Amino acid sequence: MLIDHYLPQYDVSARYEIDIRAPLSGVYQAARTLDLKGSRIARALFRLRGLPEANLDLEGMLKWGFVLLANEPEREIVLGLIGRFWIRSPKIQSVPAEAFIGFNQPGSAKAVTNLAFFPREEGIVRLTTETRVSCPDDSSRRSFRRYWRLIGPFSGLIRKEWLRLIKKQAETPFG
């Protein structure tokens, strides 16, 4: 998977999956156009974290500081983010995609998340999402792990909501 290229070693990870009864092209299109603003869960969690509730789609994520690392249509989309996620205002670092792999600044964390598409039996696509986080030093690793114990389950809710909404959109005729 492409995510392995961008963060093969990591300190924490979480993975979720769902089977979708729709053509691969429709699942990919639903993933590319997903907008979480229709999700009360996502809006509430973003509000609690002090993140913007507007633009809860891929373009909005890119405006917040995520970088599109890879996009192979109908195979995998990989996004990256670097920052000090464990502080109230997470100090996101703007790093271009070509510099993402080599970034290794102490006091920060590097996160990747993906959506990967796996055609199964006729008419079914397994969609997975995995989030991985790596910290380059012990101090940031300790800080991030404390933060992740609290925020990890809520991050998981957002990822599950991604999958649920993509499934709903892909399985809805004409939409």
- Write out pLDDT tens, residues 71-112: 999 999 999 999 998 988 778 898 999 999 999 999 999 999
Distance CA 139, CA 150 (A): 18
Residues 8-27 pLDDT 10s = 999 999 999 999 999 999 99
Q: Which domain holds residue 132?
A: 2-171
> What is this structure's pTM?
0.91
Q: What is the pLDDT of residue 49?
A: 63
Are the CB atoms for 94 and 108 separated by under 8 Å?
no
Q: What is the pLDDT of residue 54?
A: 60
Number of domains in the chain: 1
Q: What is the mean pLDDT of the chain?
A: 90
CATH number of the CATH domain containing 159: 3.30.530
Give yes or no for residue 116 having a pLDDT over 80: yes
Give yes or no for residue 174 having a pLDDT over 80: no
DSSP bridge partners of 158? none
Q: How far apart are the first and last CA of the chain?
A: 28
Distance of CA 69 to the CA centre of its chain: 12
